[in-house]
């Protein structure tokens, strides 16, 4: 089995190399959208997000109430499992959209849901705001994107453990303690401005206090029920978040400046779309991140002739992802090459960069007409 020569560390060898070859904070390809239509798409509204937020938290309250009422009977299990998905997965998309400031028109609503969702998903709201900004600026650029889910070759043990949040939660707890005592890792410090760091530490100290209170309640009551409401759902309910997260970029090109090559749009069922808040339209979101989640289906319809065909289902997406991951164990340089419809603008050769160090930038011949 070949080992990758990619260095995914934010302060590693490939971070500097990406800067040297012009992949950092570079110009990205965008589909053409008339100005008037883009203005309409970018219009923000409170109504869709208020509706969805009432449904989400209302459902969580009902499910948790049923789980508590039936506790400790096994009849409570289905309610906890459903509650966990809303807590450990739906909060990921709420964190994401409210972090962009596009879910609601009112800033205070975005900020309020962002803070709550960040707590539930165990992501420091200050750290992850800057982390996600870097993800959008340098999407899947090796050494610069801190949110690459699966490297080449993928660490299957890590991904498997994170299906129940084991490593993610351990890492989140470790970071929370680190921030609470006023420390940042060197990699995190590389993208957090000094002026923002006191906010990181303040939030972490509040969170430590909340978790300490919940754990204290567990010991006082002699029951893990408080942790079933706060904390544990981040683990047992995160499988949907991992599933949808893997669909976003895994198996596609690295080090390219065209989201059509490194991102994947998937058409999914209405329940998963609600949980995921339309982030299945992922090429569209990366091209135009200021378009609100509720307008992404309209954006997709508008530019679909310039995009690779969307995966028709979650199953179809993984039918592409799983063989790609397997193949990358044999050849980490292999990736799925996206097929554009005849109506699409062609690939721009200067946006191609998924190469080994020292190789010249390829021309159009480097990318097959059809996806492999």
pLDDT confidence of residue 177? 97
Going by pLDDT thresholds of 50, 70 and 90, the confidence category of residue 349 is low
Q: How do residues 12-64 score in pLDDT, each as one tens digit?
A: 999 998 998 888 988 899 999 999 999 999 999 999 999 999 999 999 999 99
Compute the average pLDDT of residues 246-254: 96
Cα separation, 102 vs 46, whole angstroms: 9
Task: Give the DSSP per-residue string, 248-304.
Answer: HHTTS-SS-S-HHHH--BB---HHHHHHHTTTTBHHHHHH-TTS-GGGHHHHHHHHG
User: Is residue 146 pLDDT above 60, yes or no?
Assistant: yes
Whether the CB-CB separation of 99 and 114 falls below 8 Å is answered with: yes
Compute the average pLDDT of residues 266-276: 97
Cα separation, 48 vs 104, whole angstroms: 8
Compute the average pLDDT of residues 167-173: 94
Mean pLDDT of the chain: 91
Residues facing residue 233 across a β-bridge? none
Q: Residue 23: left (phi > 0), alpha (psi -120 to 50), or beta?
A: alpha
Count of alpha carbons within 13 angstroms of residue 222, beta-carbon side:
0
Compute the average pLDDT of residues 93-115: 97
pLDDT confidence of residue 338? 87
pLDDT confidence of residue 267? 98
Helix (H) or strand (E) holding 78: helix 77-85
User: Is residue 67 pLDDT above 80, yes or no?
Assistant: yes
Q: 238 exposed, middle or buried (CB, 10 Å; 0-12, 13-18, 19+)?
A: buried
Backbone angles phi, psi at 139, to 5 degrees: -60, 120
Cα 238 to Cα 68, 72, 242, 260, 271, distances in angstroms: 20, 22, 6, 27, 15
Percentage of residues in the chain having pLDDT higher than 70: 92
Compute the average pLDDT of residues 109-128: 97
Going by pLDDT thresholds of 50, 70 and 90, the confidence category of residue 137 is very high
Compute the average pLDDT of residues 101-127: 97
Residues facing residue 265 across a β-bridge? 281
pLDDT confidence of residue 363? 30
Whether the CB-CB separation of 347 and 258 falls below 8 Å is answered with: yes
Cα separation, 331 vs 352, whole angstroms: 19
pLDDT confidence of residue 25? 86
pLDDT confidence of residue 366? 33
Spatial CA neighbour of 120 closest among 145, 91, 90: 91
Whether the CB-CB separation of 372 and 336 falls below 8 Å is answered with: yes
pLDDT confidence of residue 1? 37
Residue with tokens 């470790």, as numbered in its chain: 174
Cα separation, 135 vs 302, whole angstroms: 25
Give the start-to-end residue ranges of the domains of the chain.
13-351
Compute the average pLDDT of residues 150-154: 92
User: Is residue 353 pLDDT above 80, yes or no?
Assistant: no
Q: How do residues 311-346 score in pLDDT, each as one tens digit?
A: 999 999 999 999 999 999 999 989 999 888 999 988
Cα separation, 86 vs 102, whole angstroms: 20
Helix (H) or strand (E) holding 209: helix 197-221
Q: What is the CA radius of gyration of the chain?
A: 21
Cα separation, 326 vs 178, whole angstroms: 36
Q: Kindly report the CA angle at 282 between 281 and 288, in degrees rounded to 5?
A: 95
Helix (H) or strand (E) holding 85: helix 77-85
Whether the CB-CB separation of 303 and 33 falls below 8 Å is answered with: yes
């Amino acid at each position: 089995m070949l080992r990758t020569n990619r260095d995914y560390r934010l302060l590693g060898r490939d971070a500097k190399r990406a800067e040297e070859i012009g992949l950092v904070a570079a110009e990205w390809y965008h589909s053409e959208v008339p100005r008037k239509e883009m203005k309409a798409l970018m219009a923000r509204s409170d109504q869709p997000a208020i509706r969805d937020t009432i449904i989400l938290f209302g459902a969580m309250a009902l499910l948790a109430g049923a789980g508590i009422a039936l506790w400790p009977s096994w009849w409570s299990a289905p309610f906890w499992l459903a509650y966990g998905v809303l807590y450990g997965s739906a909060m990921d998309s709420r964190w994401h959209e409210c972090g962009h400031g596009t879910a609601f028109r009112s800033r205070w609503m975005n900020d309020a849901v962002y803070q709550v969702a960040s707590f539930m998903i165990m992501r420091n709201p200050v750290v992850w705001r800057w982390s996600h900004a870097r993800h959008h600026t340098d999407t899947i650029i090796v050494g610069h994107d801190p949110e690459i889910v699966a490297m080449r070759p993928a660490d299957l043990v890590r991904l498997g453990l994170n299906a129940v949040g084991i490593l993610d939660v351990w890492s989140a707890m470790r970071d929370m303690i680190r921030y609470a005592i006023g420390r940042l890792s060197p990699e995190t410090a590389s993208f957090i401005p000094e002026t923002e760091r006191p906010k990181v530490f303040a939030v972490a100290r509040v969170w430590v206090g909340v978790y300490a209170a919940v754990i204290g309640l567990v010991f006082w009551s002699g029951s893990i029920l408080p942790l079933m409401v706060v904390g544990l759902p981040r683990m047992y309910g995160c499988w949907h978040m991992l599933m949808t997260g893997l669909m976003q970029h895994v198996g596609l090109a690295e080090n390219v400046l065209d989201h059509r090559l490194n991102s994947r749009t998937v058409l999914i069922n209405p329940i998963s779309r609600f949980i995921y808040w339309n982030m299945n339209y992922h090429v569209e979101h990366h091209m135009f991140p200021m378009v609100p989640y509720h307008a992404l289906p309209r954006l997709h319809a508008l530019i679909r002739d310039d995009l690779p065909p969307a995966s028709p289902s979650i199953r179809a997406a993984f039918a592409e992802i799983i063989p790609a991951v397997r193949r990358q164990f044999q050849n980490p340089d292999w990736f799925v090459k996206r097929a554009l419809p005849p109506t699409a603008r062609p690939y721009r050769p200067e946006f191609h960069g998924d190469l080994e160090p020292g190789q010249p930038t390829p021309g159009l011949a480097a990318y097959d007409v059809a996806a492999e």
